[in-house]
């Protein structure tokens, strides 16, 4: 059962403020991820105060890096159920967890950040790993 | 502490190794007289194939494949509990 919209509104707004486009429906997801070109980060948002509470600030810090994904999109696990399930079909090789992040390049998942890689870590530490992944997969030297 | 007011491992994805062939990977919920309570748990039985190390490595790389929503591991069976994130690389 989805959470009270009022409860999750600040968590949605935090993502929108940092430039993420919300995908709330299956059509939204297919429009963004179907035939995806270029580079993209998909953030699977969560109400978990501790894990997601560090993941969102981590993404904000990572988005200050020089190398960035061309698009940042987000689905909300436990809230936009169908959209989240659909998004996960695009990275079905990875077991679902939230929060989590998928880095895509031309429709291929090139890097995945699971919840267990977020738990108990500082936003700065998570952001540092994300920046390295941006450099590796989205930088000038990355293989197209 | 990851979740203030709870056990220090509450909400953390952990690997629970036992003295026997079973290994569990799941989200630590709590610990009481019944044992360690895990949520969304992947279970590996070394007696039925594959090594514990491969199971843990696969879980770290691709995430936890949940076999059980909730599982209690009796304390007497627990050999070691380690955060999955600490077992990578």
Active site residue A50: yes
Residue appearing with tokens 């291929």? A108
Instruction: Give domain status of residue A48, yes or no.
Output: yes
**Mean per-residue pLDDT, A66-90:** 97
Instruction: Give domain status of residue B2, yes or no.
Output: no
Query: Between chains, do A50 and B62 touch, taking CB under 8 Å as contact?
Result: no
Instruction: Give domain status of residue B1, yes or no.
Output: no
Domain holding A57: CATH number?
Answer: 3.40.30.10
Domain holding B25: CATH number?
Answer: 2.30.30.100
Residue appearing with tokens 């997969």? A137
**Mean per-residue pLDDT, B30-37:** 95
pTM of the model: 0.90
Mean pLDDT of chain A: 94
- Distance (Å, whole) CA A134 – CA A140: 10
Instruction: Give domain status of residue A95, yes or no.
Output: yes
**A16, A50, A70, A122: the active-site residue:** A50
H/E stretch holding B17 reads strand B13-18
B79 is in which domain, residue-wise?
13-87
CA distances from A55 to A22, A77, A126, B69, B85 (A): 16, 14, 7, 24, 15
pLDDT at B3: 64
pLDDT at A140: 86
Going by C-beta distance under 8 Å and a sequence separation of 6 or more, which residues neighbour residue A95?
A114, B62, B63, B64, B65, B66
Instruction: Give domain status of residue B3, yes or no.
Output: no
- pLDDT digit string, tens, across residues A92-122: 999 999 999 999 999 999 999 999 999 989 9
Q: Domains in chain A: how many in total? A: 1
- pLDDT digit string, tens, across residues B55-73: 999 999 999 999 999 999 9
Which among B3, B12, B62 is the nearest to A95, CB-wise? B62
Instruction: For residue A81, count other CB atoms closer than 10 A to its CB.
Output: 13
pLDDT at B49: 80
Q: Name every chain B residue with its beta carbon within 8 A of the beta carbon of A50.
A: 2-3, 11
């Amino acid at each position: 059962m989805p959470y009270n919209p009022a409860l999750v509104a600040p968590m949605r707004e935090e993502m929108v403020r940092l430039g993420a486009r919300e995908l709330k429906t299956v059509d939204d997801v297919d429009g963004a991820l179907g035939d995806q070109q270029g580079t993209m980060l998909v953030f699977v948002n969560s109400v978990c105060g501790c894990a997601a509470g560090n993941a969102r600030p981590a993404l904000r810090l990572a988005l200050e890096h020089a190398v960035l994904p061309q698009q940042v999109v987000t689905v909300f696990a436990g809230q936009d159920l169908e959209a989240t399930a659909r998004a996960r079909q695009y990275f079905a090789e990875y077991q679902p967890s939230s929060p989590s992040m998928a880095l895509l390049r031309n429709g291929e998942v090139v890097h995945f950040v699971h919840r267990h890689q977020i738990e108990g870590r500082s936003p700065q530490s998570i952001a540092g790993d994300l920046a390295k992944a941006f450099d590796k997969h989205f930088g000038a030297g990355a293989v197209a | 502490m990851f979740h203030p007011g709870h056990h220090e491992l509450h909400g953390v994805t952990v690997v629970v190794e036992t003295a026997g062939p079973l290994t569990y990977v799941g989200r630590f919920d709590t610990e009481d007289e019944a044992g360690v309570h895990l949520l969304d748990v992947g279970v590996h039985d070394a007696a039925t194939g594959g090594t514990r190390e491969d199971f843990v490595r696969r879980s770290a790389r691709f995430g936890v494949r949940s076999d059980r929503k909730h599982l209690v591991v009796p304390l007497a069976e627990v050999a070691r509990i380690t955060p999955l994130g600490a077992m990578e690389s």
